[in-house]
Chain A
Amino acid sequence: MLGKLTWADIPLDQPIPLIAGVGAFSIVGLVVIYVLLKGWGPYLWREWITSVDHKHIGVMYVFLAAVMLLRGFVDAIMMRSQQALAFQAPGYLPPDHYDQIFAAHGTLMIFFVAMAFVIGLINIVVPLQLGVRDVAFPTLNSVSFWLTATGALLINISLVVGEFSHVGWLPFPPLSELRYSPGVGMDYYLWSLQISGVGTLLTGVNFVTTILKLHAPGMTYMRMPVFCWTAFASMLLIVAAFPVLTATLAMLLLDRYLGFHFFTNEAGGNVMMFNNLIWIWGHPEVYILVLPAFGVFSEVFSTYSGKPLFGYRSMVAATMVICILSFTVWLHHFFTMGAGADVNAVFGILSMIIAVPTGVKVFNWMFTMYGGRVRYASPMYWGIGFIVTIIIAGMTGVLLAVPPADFLLHNSLFLVAHFHNVIIGAILFGMFAGYTYWFPKAFGFRLDERLGKAAFWCWFVGFYLAFMPLYVVGLMGMTRRMQHYDNPAWYPWLLVAAAGAAVILVGIGFQIAQLVVSIRNREELRDTTGDPWDGRALEWSTSSPPPPFNFAVLPHVEGTDAYWLMKQRARERGAPEPEPAYQDIELPRNSATGFVCAFFAAILGFSLIWQIWWLAALAFVGAFATFVVFAWRDRTEYRIPAAEVARIDRENRAARRLALAQMEPAE
């Protein structure tokens, strides 16, 4: 009746995950009850859960990423404290539990923190920067989000019901095969990623279409802000790479569920083929995450330097070259697997070549600041911290791309230090910069600067304390994923690393405080003009937060830095654009399709993991029925009358006229 699920699967003998899990789920439960008692349920349902507005979906993605960052960081603290305690001692985490922690940490951080944060920012910003009203397929966008949330939910359920994968953030066979991982942990991993992978692929399709097809008049490709270009490259990579991930995981699922032999040791399976396939996805994944972060910094550097981005065209070219080249380097993740000297040499050289366009970008950012009137707001702090940090990450990366060096460093903590150097120093710093930069656009008030800068310093110093020691112990020969060790030379370095994690914890504390304080002081921090940073791209031309239709009339774009040009013209004229003729605007109606689909997908995933076949069949039928109902609905849009559009827009225009009057007139 319930497949493999029994009472014995509740890990009552392992207090740590159980208490953490029950604690987390009761907090969520209490929040839900509080919301319902307060009568906020209908509001949440209308404005958020069923919303197909890209801005709201983006905010939900970022919220998911933030919550999962806390969860992933708890795992990180546990690992750091375990290694600080486990010198010639067992520490407090048994090996079986430690394995699940690094697997859960890696999986959550990559798929549900970094991916969700990147996709969230892209959702909020790209349609605004393109000067359009929504993405190409708004309801699909909501489906994407809810499927991603389903994946995250399933992984967190594994805390309390069953176990999680022991294999690491990538499920390498033969360890991940049924014979060596007979438990449900591996299945939790696989089904979570399959479900959220569908969501990610749909996001890719949605945004490739949006960026290619939807633009304000005059917004040609070569006038798009660099963030749009990087989002485009990232989404192209999703469309090209995620099917490879899905197919690879599907083959592993066939091995585990139906006795296939794709990746087994026996019966003609080929373990190395898994390595090959997973890294065909895995390397582009790095660029899926980092390119949008580069895009954020491009916006930040030019805005706070008061200058157009230096080398716009070389920036676009570098982005697209990286997009293609990222499919030509995947072997550098398994130099040591025995492909031979020719193959290793070719992929080593290609890996070094891909560093060149990234170097071009670093110079472009620095030249953007050069000669500009730089304002040191907190996004610039993240930006300058990023430049320093990414240079170190790039150098250790090129070092790892030398095959003979990699034979020494492969799977050591040197590697772990390198990829955290990229992931934290570039991706996470980029996301935090974007979060601070676009927060007023999404919510209508700015974030507290002092606490933001304090958070930056803690993250920056904490990162160096936590990860520079790992380069050292890696060079001394310490391998990754060690539950305990006996080498006294490593011990002091690992204590420093634990201290670094503690400093990062303080940084996260400042970020939470920043959010709370800013919400409390929102009236002083209110962004009345819609353009708090003297911005350059179109998102700053509408009010903060933007109306549901984003733009009362689609803006006319006359060059790169479209809004900057408009402001300049208004200053010359001494008056804003004359009032346009308003028209009715049609917008897509809310839809529960995404939420209901995800509800069934969660049940489907859970029942497949526990092999409750009847429930799986039922859930599948439910999901399909949802889709059919959606396809057959006949009212798809609602209309905002011209008078209402005019009323909303006039407020925005009045605020801008005031701002214009306060500015000095153009010389």
Chain B
Amino acid sequence: MSDTDARLHLHHASDHAPGDEPVSGHEIAEGLLGYIVGLFLAALITAVAFFLVGTSLVWQPSIPVALLVLAVAQMGVHLVFFLHITTGPDNYNNVLALAFGVLIVGLIIVGSMWIMTNMNHNMMPMNMMHM
């Protein structure tokens, strides 16, 4: 039975909510460092995004793609440095919860876009059909 799967065991001594991990003295300094690095990276990505939009140094059509990549990176930074999502066994629940959230949001967004474009197309007033 999967009862014996260690990761499924509750009361897993190290299964902590993010930010709720027990800390000792020097870990506080380490934790602070993590937040500072995170803040720096987040600010950097934001700055690059603004820079990209204003500059003519890069090929214009690539800018939207670049912004998309930066946005995803920004989410990654938040997840790792601020929400403390890791792949360690102590994060099993958190990673699953994140996966569930991403799945649902993905379903909602992709589904809505598909439905709404179809609907807008089919329900277009007759005189606009041929435009």
Interface residues in chain A, defined as those with a beta carbon under 8 Å from any beta carbon in chain B = 212-213, 215, 217, 219-223, 236, 240, 244, 270, 272-273, 276-277, 280, 324, 327-328, 330-331, 337-340, 342-343
**Any chain A CB within 8 A of the CB of B55?**
no
Q: Is there contact, CB below 8 Å, between A338 and B115?
A: no
Interchain CB contact under 8 A, A343 and B116: no
Most buried by A among B17, B101, B119, B123: B119
| CB-based nearest B residue for A279 | B115
Q: Are A276 and B100 in contact (CB under 8 A)?
A: no
Q: Nearest 9 pairs between A and B by C-beta?
A: A215-B10, A240-B104, A339-B118, A338-B122, A338-B123, A340-B118, A343-B118, A339-B119, A340-B122
Judged by a CB distance under 8 angstroms, whether B53 is at the interface is: no
User: Is there an interface contact between B3 and A220, defined as CB atoms closer than 8 Å?
Assistant: yes
**Contact in complex: A339, B8 (CB < 8 Å):** no
Q: Is the interface of A mostly helix, strand, loop or mixed?
A: helix
Measured in the bound complex, the distance between the Cα atoms of B7 and A520 in whole Å is 51
Choose from A223, A240, A280, A339 the contact partner of B100 (Cβ within 8 Å): A240
Do the beta carbons of B122 and A339 come within 8 Å of each other? yes
B46 adjacent to chain A (CB < 8 Å): no
Q: Which residues of B contact A (CB under 8 A)?
A: 1-3, 8-11, 15, 17, 93, 100-101, 103-104, 107-108, 111-112, 114-116, 118-123
Interface of B is mostly: helix
Across the interface, which residues of A come within 8 angstroms of B1, CB to CB? 222
Number of A-B contacts (CB under 8 A): 65
Q: Is the CB of A221 within 8 A of B10?
A: yes
* CB-based nearest B residue for A280: B108
Q: Using Cβ atoms and an 8 Å threshold, which residues of chain A touch B120? A: 272
Contact B8 A222 (CB under 8 A): yes
What CA separation (Å) do A219 and B3 show in the bound complex? 9
Q: With A212-B93, A215-B11, A223-B3 in contact, do A276 and B112 touch (Cβ < 8 Å)?
A: yes
Q: A178 vs B39: C-alpha distance in the bound complex, in angstroms?
A: 44
Q: Which residue of the partner chain A has the closest CB to B2?
A: A222
Residue on B nearest A219 in the bound complex, by CB? B10
Residue of A nearest to B1 (CB): A222
Chain B residue with Cβ nearest A244:
B108
Q: Which one of B9, B104, B119 contacts A327 once the chains associate, using CB atoms below 8 Å?
A: B104
A217 CB contacts on chain B under 8 angstroms = 11
B100 contacts across to A, CB distance below 8 A: 236, 240
Bound form: Cα–Cα A338–B124 in Å: 10
If A273-B116, A337-B123, A338-B119 are given as contacts, then 10 extra A-B residue pairs at C-beta distance below 8 Å, sorted by A number, are A215-B11, A240-B101, A244-B108, A280-B108, A327-B104, A337-B119, A338-B123, A339-B122, A340-B122, A342-B118
A272 near B3 with CB under 8 A, answer no
Minimum CB–CB distance from A355 to chain B (whole Å) comes to 19
Nearest chain-B residue to A222 (Cβ)?
Answer: B3
Q: Is the CB of A327 within 8 A of B118?
A: no
Chain B residue nearest in CB terms to A343: B118
Interchain nearest-CB distance for A193 vs B (Å): 20
Contacts of B101 in A (CB 8 A): 240
Inter-subunit contact A339/B115 (CB<8 Å): yes
> In the docked arrangement, what's the CA distance between A6 and B121, Å?
47
Other-chain contact of A220, B8, B17, B112, B116 (Cβ < 8 Å): B8
Chain A residues with CB below 8 A from B15, complex form = 213
- Docked pose: A217 CA to B13 CA in angstroms: 12
Residue of A nearest to B114 (CB): A343
Complex-state Cα separation, A343 to B110, whole angstroms: 12
Residues of B within 8 A of A324 (CB): 103
In the assembled complex, 10 residue pairs joining A and B whose CB atoms fall closer than 8 Å, in A order, are A223-B3, A240-B104, A276-B116, A277-B112, A280-B108, A280-B111, A331-B111, A339-B119, A340-B118, A342-B118
